[in-house]
A and B are shown apart, each in its own frame.
Chain A
Amino acid sequence: MSRKLLVNSRNLPVLVTLGLFILMFGLGSIAFTGFFSVQNFFNLFIDNAYLLILAVGMTFVIISGGIDLSVGSMLALSTMISSSLVEKSHLSPIIVIPVVLLVGTALGVFMGYLIQTFALPPFIITLAGLYLARGLCYVVSIDTIGIEDSFFKAAAHSQIAIIGKNFLSTSAVIALVVVLIGVYVSRFTKFGRTVYAIGGSEQSALLMGLPVARTKIAIYALSGFCSALAGIVFTFYTLSGYALDGKGMELDAIATVVIGGTLLTGGVGNILGTVLGVLVYGIIQVLIVFQGTLNSWWTRIVIGFLVFVFCILQRLFESRKRRTAGPASSGHSKT
C-alpha cells in the first residue's frame, strides 16, 4: 500500500502541471478568439525550442542533485562562435556545428571534472562558468554578428507540415528529438539509472559500485552539449550572434524543471514533466500577449509564483511520504 502511495506522490506534481496546462489552455480558448488551435499548441514548441533543449540537460543535472548556472551564457557563447565562424571565417555549417557542440561539451567536461575531482560545489563552479562563457562571448566579438549563410537561413525559415496546414519549425523538431533521446536515456540506460542513484544518495551509489565519478562528469558534459545545441537552435530564431543572448535563461530553465516536478534535492523527476514545465512557461507568455494590456514582466511574476506553489506542493508530498514510510526513514532529511 505504501508503495502505491509513493508512486502516486511522485507522479502527482507532474499531473498537477498537466492539469494546470490544460486549465490555462482551456481558459485562454474561452477568453480569446483564435487561441484554440493546433497551431497555437505547436507554436509553444516552436517559440520555446531552445528553452526545452536547455531544460532537458538541466533536468539530468538537477536529478543528480547538482545545478548548472552556466547554460544561459553557454547558449550565448555558441551563438557567438557559430555566427563568427560562419560569417567571419566563412566556414561551412557542416564544420561549424560540430565545433560548437564540441566546445560546449568540453566546457561541460571541464566543470564536471572540477566538481567531481576536487569535491567543489556545483553552484560556484557553474557560476564561474557563467562568467567565463559570457566573457568569452566578448572575446569573440563585442558587436552583434548577423548570419547571412544559406543553411542557417533555410533552417530558420523551414516549416515542416504536420496535420493539415499546421507546421513545426526545424528548431521544434530538434527539440522534440532531444526530448525523446532524453526520455530514453533517463529511463532505459545504465547512465540514466546511475543519475537517479547519485541524486538519491551519492554515498549509496558509490557503495553499490556505480561509476559515480564518470557519470557526474558526463552529466555536466551533457548539459554543456545541450546548451551548445540550444545556442545553435537560438541562432535559427535570431539569425545572429549576440553576447547578451540568453541572459537569465539559466533560471528560466531551472524554474521550468521545478514546475515540471523535479525535486531540487535530487533523485526524483522526469523529462516529460520538464516538457510540461516548458509548455506552462510558454502558455503564460502567450496568455499575456493575448490579454494585451498586461506588462510582459508579469510573466516573471507568474513564473515566480508557480515555482513557489510547486515547491510548497513538493514539501507537502515529501512530508506525507515520510509519514506513510514510517518512523524508520523520518530521520532522513537533506539540507
Chain B
Amino acid sequence: MALWRSLNRSKIVWPLITLGALLLFNLFFTPHFFRMEIIEGHLFGNLIDILKNAAPIMLLAIGLTLVIATHGIDISVGSVVAISAGVVAILIGGDLAGHPKYPIAVAMIAALLVSTAAGMWNGMLVSRVGMQPIIATLILFVAGRGIAMVFTNAMVIWLYAKPFALLGQGYVLGLPFSIYIVAFVLLVTSIFTRKTAVGLFIEAVGINPTAARFSGINAKNIVFWCYTFSGFCAGVSGLIVCSTIMSADGNNAGNLFELDAILAVVLGGTSLSGGKFYLLGSMVGALIIQTLTTTIYAFNVAPEISQVVKALVVYAVSLLQSEVFRSKIAGVFARKELSA
C-alpha cells in the first residue's frame, strides 16, 4: 500500500515505467532491437534512431512544458516549425551547387527571430489581450501554415548547402548532432527554471494567477515569456526538421507535431490544468511516443495504425492521472484491506 501511494505521488515514475515496459516488450519480441553498430565512426541502431527522430518533438515539448505549466496551451508550434523551416530554406536558397544565398548562420538566426516573434505574438494575445490560450494559438495554427506556404510560394524548396545538413544529419562523437542541441536547450531551461525562482513563479501562475499576482509576481510577463520561449523552441525544431530532409515543405513540415508534443508533456506527468511541471518527464514522454512508433515499424504494421495505439496510450495515461479514477482504484484496494 505504501508503495502504491508513493508511486501515485511521484510523477516521473509512471512515464519511466511506461518507457521501460515498452523497451522490455521489444527486448523479448523484436529481434535485434537493442543491437548497436558503429559504421564510419557513428553509432547506428534503433535506440539511436529513436533519440534522433524524437529530437524535434523533444524541443517542442520543452517549450510546451512551460506554457502548459502556466495553465496554457500552444497549438501553433507545428505551424511555427513550418514557418521556421520555410524562412531558413528561402534564405539559404535552392542553389544546386550548394552556395547559400545568405550565410547559413544569418538564415538560421533569421528563422529563429521569426519563430520567436511568432511566440511573442501568442504571448501578447494571451497575456495582454487576455484571450484563451487555445484560441490565441489557434490563430497562428490556422494562419501559420498559410504564411509558410506563401513564404515558400507553395513549393517544396530543396536545399543543397552541405554545412546546413549538420543540424539534422550530422554526428559528433558518434551521436547525432540534434541530440546535443536538445540536451543543451534542456540543460539551460532546467538551470534557468530550477536554480532561479522562475520555475516557482511559473508554477505559481499556473496554480492560481490571481494569488500569484497578489504575491508580487508579474504573472503577465511570466506568461508572455513562456509563449515566446515556446516559439523559439519551435524555431529550433523547425531548423532540425528542415536540415534532416534538406527541404522545406510548408504543407507537411511539423504537421501534427503539436499533438505529439502536447502528448509528450502530458505523458511526462505535467497536468494540463497547469502548476507543477516536469521537463525530464516531458523528454521521457517524447521518447515513449517515438519508441512506440519505432516498435510498430518493427512489426511491419502500417505506420499510420500507430495512431490507434497512441490514442489508447493517451486514454490509459489520462485515466491514471485522473483523481476520480485513482480514488476508485484506491477504493477497491481499501475495501480489500477491510475485509482481510
Residues of A within 8 A of B (CB): 67, 114, 117-121, 123-125, 127-132, 134-139, 142, 243, 251-252, 254-255, 258, 264-265, 295, 297-301, 303-305, 307-308, 311-312, 315, 335
Distance in angstroms between the alpha carbons of A137 and B306 in the assembled complex = 12
Are the C-beta atoms of B314 and A127 separated by less than 8 Å?
Answer: yes
| Ranked 3 nearest A-B pairs via Cβ | A304-B143, A300-B146, A135-B307
Chain B count of residues within 8 A CB distance of the other chain = 50
Residue of B130, B263, B308 with highest tally of chain A CB at under 10 A? B308
Query: Of B51-59, B93-101, B183-191, B315-323, which binds chain A?
Result: B315-323
B142 interface neighbour in A67, A114, A120, A304, Cβ under 8 Å: A304
Are the C-beta atoms of A114 and B150 separated by less than 8 Å?
Answer: no
Identify 5 new A-B residue pairs, CB closer than 8 A, beyond the known A114-B319, A120-B322, A297-B154: A125-B315, A129-B311, A264-B134, A303-B143, A304-B142
Q: List 26 A-B contacts (CB under 8 A).
A: A114-B318, A118-B319, A119-B322, A120-B319, A121-B272, A123-B73, A127-B259, A127-B263, A131-B307, A131-B311, A132-B307, A132-B311, A137-B304, A139-B305, A243-B304, A251-B142, A252-B142, A258-B135, A295-B150, A295-B153, A298-B150, A300-B145, A300-B149, A304-B142, A304-B146, A311-B135
Mask for B198-212, Cβ within 8 A of A = 1, else 0?
000000000001000
Closest to A129 in B: B311
Distance in angstroms between the alpha carbons of A191 and B127 in the assembled complex = 35
A-B contact count (CB 8 A): 136
Are the C-beta atoms of A295 and B154 separated by less than 8 Å?
Answer: yes
Residues of A within 8 A of B312 (CB): 132
B308 interface neighbour in A139, A305, A307, A335, Cβ under 8 Å: A139
Are the C-beta atoms of B139 and A307 separated by less than 8 Å?
Answer: yes
Are the C-beta atoms of B308 and A127 separated by less than 8 Å?
Answer: no
Interface majority SS on A: helix, strand, loop or mixed?
helix
Closest to A120 in B: B318
Residue of B73, B312, B314 with highest tally of chain A CB at under 10 A? B314
Distance in angstroms between the alpha carbons of A205 and B261 in the assembled complex = 35
Min C-beta distance of A216 to chain B, whole Å: 14
Closest to B309 in A: A135
Interface majority SS on B: helix, strand, loop or mixed?
helix
Distance in angstroms between the alpha carbons of A237 and B273 in the assembled complex = 41
B272 interface neighbour in A124, A134, A252, A305, Cβ under 8 Å: A124
Min C-beta distance of A77 to chain B, whole Å: 11
B131: CB under 8 A from chain A? yes
Residues of B within 8 A of A132 (CB): 307-308, 311-312
Given contacts A135-B306, A304-B146, contact A312 B129 (CB under 8 A): yes
Min C-beta distance of B325 to chain A, whole Å: 5
B138 interface neighbour in A124, A138, A255, Cβ under 8 Å: A255
Are the C-beta atoms of A119 and B324 separated by less than 8 Å?
Answer: yes
A124 interface neighbour in B136, B142, B149, B314, Cβ under 8 Å: B314
B71: CB under 8 A from chain A? yes
Are the C-beta atoms of A265 and B324 separated by less than 8 Å?
Answer: no
Residues of A within 8 A of B250 (CB): 297
Are the C-beta atoms of B302 and A138 separated by less than 8 Å?
Answer: yes
Residues of B within 8 A of A139 (CB): 305, 308
